[in-house]
Amino acid sequence: MKLTGNTIFITGGGSGIGRGLAEALHKSGNQVIIAGRRKERLTEVANANPGMRWVELDIEDPASISAVAGRLITDFPKLNVLINNAGIMQIDDASTAIDENLLVTTLVTNVMGPIRMTGALIEHLKRQPNAAVINNSSVLAFVPLAMTAVYSASKAALHSYTMSLRYKLKDTPVKVLEIAPPWVQTDLLGSNNEPRAMPLADFVEETVRVLGTEAEEVLVERAKPLRNNAGPDEAAFVFQFNDMMANPQ
């Protein structure tokens, strides 16, 4: 996709990968609008990046999604890029009953949220000469992390939805891209200072570089071994990966 001259809406733009992408794309000459639940985070990011705009959004609430979509279409008629980035990640235990609140909140935020947000904006995006929907999934869509089974499953569902969306929009001006991050130093599971995770600045720099190509799957080099694991023998690596994560050396 072209990296300048866009009007870009990013959910979950107040922190982590969302903020990193928002700031990088803002500096590249795009009008960026960030959204999230925490007004103080949004205003902090916008104040640090003059010209960036923000809007409060509860991605779990269909009414909030509908209202924000209507406001965006009115206030930013040239909106042509949606980045579905908002997500939550919690520890669970698939060997026992999953907490109902964790289950519902994760699936509504990580799967239903992007589907609803896309649905609310898709007709507007179709009317733009060049547009994109970019879904932020995870390498855990391909190699699940057992201690976050619901999160991993939600990202696998988002990957599947993204492929269907790409097919259905193939004859429209809307491109459908998927970012599948590896472990990145963000506040998800308190990973800001985790030495095994990829530094956020490095991830954003490499991701934006790949976004500027024709790639439909936006993968940093560190993500590729896990993305490429899927196949008839994938279970062996899934076990190896989870043993390594459970027992780091």
pLDDT tens-digit profile of 194-230? Answer: 988 999 999 999 999 999 999 999 999 999 999 998 8
Instruction: Report CA torsion sign: 208, 210, 212, 217.
Output: negative
Residue 48 has pLDDT above 70, yes or no: yes
Q: How many CB atoms lie within 10 A of CB 235?
A: 10
pLDDT digits (tens, 9 = 90+) for 141-194: 999 999 999 999 999 999 999 999 999 999 999 999 999 999 999 988 888 889
Angle at 232 between CA 231 and CA 238, to 5 degrees: 70
Per-residue pLDDT, 246: 87
Q: How far is CA 54 from CA 25, 58, 64, in A?
A: 14, 13, 14
Q: Which pLDDT score is estimated for 249? A: 64
Lowest mean pLDDT among 3-17, 78-92, 123-137, 188-202: 188-202
**Whole-structure pTM value:** 0.94
- Identify the structural domains of the chain with CATH numbers, from first to last: 7-246 (3.40.50.720)
- The pLDDT value recorded for residue 248 is 75
User: Which of 148, 118, 209, 134 has the alpha carbon at shortest distance from 179?
Assistant: 134
In the block, tokens 């639940």 appear at: 37
Q: How far is CA 132 from CA 32, 96, 197, 239, in A?
A: 14, 40, 28, 36
What amino acid positions are annotated as catalytic residues? 151
Coil, strand or helix at 92: coil
pLDDT value, residue 15: 95
* Pairing state between β 7-11 and 31-36: parallel
